[in-house]
Amino acid sequence: MQVLVLDDIELNNVLMVEALRGLPDCRPVAFTSPEEALAHLRDKAAEIGLAITDFDMPRLNGIGFIRAARAIPGFEHVPIIMVTANDQRTLRREALEAGATDFISRPFDPFEIRARAGNLLALNTARLAESDRAAWLDREVRKAVAVIEAREQDLVERLVRAVEHRDTDTGEHVWRVATYARLMAERLGCGAEWCRQLALASTMHDIGKIAVPDAILLKEGPLTPEERTIISLHAERGYDILKGSSSDLVQLAAEIAASHHERWDGHGYPKGLAGTQIPLGGRIVGVADVFDALTTARPYKRAWPVEDARKYLVENAGTQFDPACVEAFMAAWPEVLRIMGGQFGAAQAA
């Protein structure tokens, strides 16, 4: 590890380098010019484990050098010793404020130099090792999180696939809803990780339909009032399936399953929640779900024209839907049209 030595008098540098001789892993590099020393620091900051600078130098004294050195990226925490014959407290206080780590009085004792320099080099080596360990731990945590996220996504996709066996329209529907939901959440200013979790959790919003009889779920034509009552139970059934998990993702999915049919005006189901009583995930998915349901052909209805579905959302903002969610959906309208135009796979990958 390099030890930078700076003194405008060449003989002083020779004496300092000689005093450092014998320290393990210590390669002194001496300069008589502060400007050249700083240039070396900028180029080799990662290789320097200690700097020793004189105080009394022309053009730039030791305190000025320390301030300039501390401003160099990567050199903020490297120890710096200032050598001076001046024992004034004010000078030492100013040097400490500038970033000095230690002081050595002139004339110096070679044994003291070796002891102090060796201790500071050891401390710097320990600091670097701790920094490397922290970086390693951060990488390992990121890898572990990535594995967990991949497993969560795999389990969710398999769960959704199970529902698809009951309703062949479910697969494409849930992934379109997931993409619409993510677009809205991003425009509402939600954090990136929550947006990711929302998109994945939203794919389970209709998981409760697994408990709806085929005769109702796949019926062609309008449902009777009794059949509507049965199918509306899917919100509570979905919550019952997903509740109680220790996973944040599944907890969010349970919340969405229970609340995506609530209405802003309080006339929804299953609990009749109103306004911000409805969880944000449910409000977002409620908009995405209705829009996709309107624009998709089902056994009991034809698909609506896109502009009619768009008009429906706008006209029902503040009654059925959270106005902010509708506004966010409209802000993403060009992307919505691209998803509907067959570019869903590319939008999901992006």
Enzyme catalytic residues: 209
Cα 123 to Cα 22: distance, rounded to the nearest angstrom = 18
Alpha-carbon torsion (221, 222, 227, 230), positive or negative? positive
Cβ atoms of 317 and 326 within 8 Å: the answer is: yes
Contact 54, 84 (CB under 8 A): yes
Provide the Cα torsion 313, 318, 324, 329; round to 10°. Answer: 0
- Which residue is associated with the tokens 């400007």? 35
Calpha distance 120→8 (Å, rounded): 23
Q: Give the closest residue to 300 by CA, choosing from 237, 236, 231, 202.
A: 231
Q: Give yes or no for a contact between 212 and 234, defined as CB atoms under 8 angstroms apart.
A: yes
Structure tokens at 201: 């959790």
| 3-state helix/strand/coil string of 71-102 | CCCCCCCCCEEEEECCCCHHHHHHHHHHCCCE
Dihedral over Cα of 154, 247, 232, 283: its sign: negative
Radius of gyration (C-alpha) of the chain in whole angstroms = 34
Residues whose CB falls within 8 Å of the CB of residue 267, separated by 6 or more in sequence, listed in order: none
Gap between the Cα atoms of 73 and 46, Å rounded: 9
Phi, psi dihedral angles at 317 (to 5 degrees): -70, 130
Contact status, residue 291 vs residue 306, Cβ threshold 8 Å:
no
301: Cα separation from own chain's centroid: 42
